[in-house]
């Protein structure tokens, strides 16, 4: 008997070939997938969506990834680093507006000065907000000692995106040198888990050279690694990157969005208790992209709190939406998206990954 979306969704365990089938399903059949993921989300984690106020701390980066706008060799952008007061002002906004969590993101740096600056900021943020803000870091690959220092200073979560789980594809979208090794990225994730973080990762969807099999492997990687949170979205090209030359080998924008929503839905089904972000990249290619992701299983969204004057210099990809919006405008727009999806905002709640709590013995599985 030929498989169907509905009979695959009745299985207790989805193997890789099941994942490939769901990713390749026709648009009409995808509605059953999205509905199933929606029901699992409601049953397992509820209908709250949690804000993570995003602070883009610095666009200085030591890496030269072929897909990224702020890669070291791109001279188009003016490089910047926020002052401590600018970071604290954004953190205070998040605290005063009951976001309960922030994300401190930066291009990858590993100097002693950078490590110390982040450690100092973590201490200051907790002091300014009475320890009520949970802090996620997204600062690239670091040493185990650095991860420990930042954890001990008050970081709770760490997002280190693998971008792709296939080592061969990883090599095609990164320079061939010791600063861009797939195994180093995997070692970093293991160190983060060892240190005690809630560990997050993610991938780009619809890259040139990427196959449905690759995407199914990405989903298997999240499950096998026992990840706590995921931020993934469609690949969007940037004219100032080497990968731009291969843009014609990527699926069209609508297909990339479709695949991204499917990835969210399938991940919610196979890992019901993790946190999944509705990323800005989804909205970039589809005005309702984040709403669709929330309906299909996402439960985290990241309002941008970076001072507006810096945002044009932190474009990992082009055509990023709402770069001129003030925080209040962004918050109100996101509230509208979330309510349109039928969910509510978990104001004043950390929204920690239930999977992390279970993994650490804090709660039972269900």
**The model scores a pTM over 0.85:** yes
Distances from the Cα of 5 to the Cα of 17, 25, 92, 95, angstroms: 12, 7, 46, 43
User: Cβ distance 205 to 232 under 8 Å?
Assistant: yes
The set of residues, in sequence order, having a beta carbon less than 8 Å from that of 212 and lying 6+ positions away, is 20, 23, 24
Our CA angle for 20, 211, 16, nearest 5°, is 25
What is the rounded CA–CA span in Å between residue 257 and residue 106? Answer: 25
What SS3 state is found at 174? coil
pLDDT value for 66: 98
d(CA 324, CA 139): 24
Q: Please indicate, yes or no, if residue 91 is contained in any of the structural domains.
A: yes
DSSP β-bridge partners for residue 105: 56, 138
- Separation between Cα atoms, residue 295 and residue 275, nearest integer Å: 14
Tell me the chain's radius of gyration from C-alpha atoms.
Answer: 19
Residue 366 lies in a domain: no
Q: Is residue 238 part of a domain?
A: yes
Give the pLDDT confidence of 43-81 residue by residue, as tens digits: 999 999 999 999 999 999 999 999 999 999 999 999 999
Residue 276 lies in a domain: yes
**Percent of the chain having pLDDT more than 70?**
99
Instruction: Report percent pLDDT > 90 for the chain.
Output: 92
Domain assignment present for residue 175? The answer is yes
Using CB atoms within 10 Å of the CB of residue 303, give its burial: 0 to 12 exposed, 13 to 18 middle, 19+ buried.
buried
Instruction: Dump pLDDT digits (tens) for 317-342.
Output: 988 888 899 999 999 989 988 998 88
- Confirm whether 364 is domain-assigned: no
pLDDT digits (tens, 9 = 90+) for 11-53: 999 999 999 999 999 877 899 999 999 999 999 999 999 999 9
For residue 273, being part of any structural domain is answered with yes
What Cα–Cα distance (Å) separates residue 181 from each residue in 106, 138, 170, 178, 284?
A: 19, 18, 8, 6, 29
Rounded Cα distance between 117 and 105, Å, is 13
Spatial contact of 61 and 70, defined as CB atoms under 8 Å apart: yes
Tokens matching residue 196: 């005690």
- 32 close to 265: Cβ distance less than 8 angstroms: no
Q: What is the pLDDT of residue 364?
A: 83
Q: Which domain holds residue 28?
A: 5-359
SS3 178: coil
8 A C-beta contact, residue 188 and residue 141: yes
Tell me, yes or no, whether 180 lies in a domain. yes
* Cβ neighbours around 126 below 10 Å, total: 17
Q: Total structural domains in the chain?
A: 1
For position 341, which CATH number holds?
3.20.20.70
- Cα-Cα end-to-end distance for the chain: 34
């Amino acid at each position: 008997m030929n498989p169907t979306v509905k009979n695959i969704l009745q299985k207790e365990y989805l193997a890789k070939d099941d994942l490939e089938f769901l990713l390749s399903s026709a648009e009409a059949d995808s509605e059953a997938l999205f509905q199933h993921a929606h029901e699992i989300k409601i049953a397992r984690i509820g209908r709250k969506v949690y804000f993570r106020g995003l602070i883009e701390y610095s666009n200085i980066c030591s890496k030269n990834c072929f897909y990224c706008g702020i890669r070291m060799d791109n001279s188009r952008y003016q490089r910047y680093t926020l002052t401590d007061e600018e970071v604290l002002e954004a953190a205070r906004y998040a605290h005063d507006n009951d976001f309960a969590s922030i994300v401190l993101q930066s291009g990858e740096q590993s100097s002693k000065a950078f490590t110390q600056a982040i450690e100092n900021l973590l201490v200051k943020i907790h002091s300014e907000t009475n320890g009520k803000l949970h802090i996620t870091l997204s600062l690239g690959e670091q040493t185990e000692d650095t991860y420990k220092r930042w954890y001990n200073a008050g970081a709770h979560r760490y997002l280190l995106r693998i971008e792709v789980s296939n080592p061969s594809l990883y090599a095609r979208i990164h320079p061939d040198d010791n600063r861009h090794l797939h195994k180093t990225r995997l070692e970093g994730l293991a160190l983060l888990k060892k240190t005690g973080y809630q560990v997050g990762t993610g991938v780009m969807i619809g890259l040139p050279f990427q196959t449905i099999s690759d995407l199914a492997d990405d989903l298997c990687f999240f499950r096998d690694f026992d990840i706590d949170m995921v931020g993934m979205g469609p690949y969007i090209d940037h004219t100032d990157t080497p990968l731009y030359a291969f843009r014609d080998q990527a699926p069209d924008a609508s297909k990339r969005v479709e695949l991204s929503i499917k990835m969210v839905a399938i991940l919610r089904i196979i890992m019901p208790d993790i946190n999944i972000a509705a990323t800005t990249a989804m909205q970039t290619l589809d005005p309702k992209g984040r709403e669709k992701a929330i309906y299909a299983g996402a439960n985290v969204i990241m309002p941008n709190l970076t001072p507006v004057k810096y945002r044009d210099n932190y474009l990992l990809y082009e055509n990023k939406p709402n770069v001129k919006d003030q925080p209040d405008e962004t918050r109100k727009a996101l509230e509208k998206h979330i309510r349109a999806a039928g969910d509510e905002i978990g104001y004043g709640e950390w929204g920690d990954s239930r999977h992390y709590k279970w993994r650490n013995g804090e709660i039972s599985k269900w």
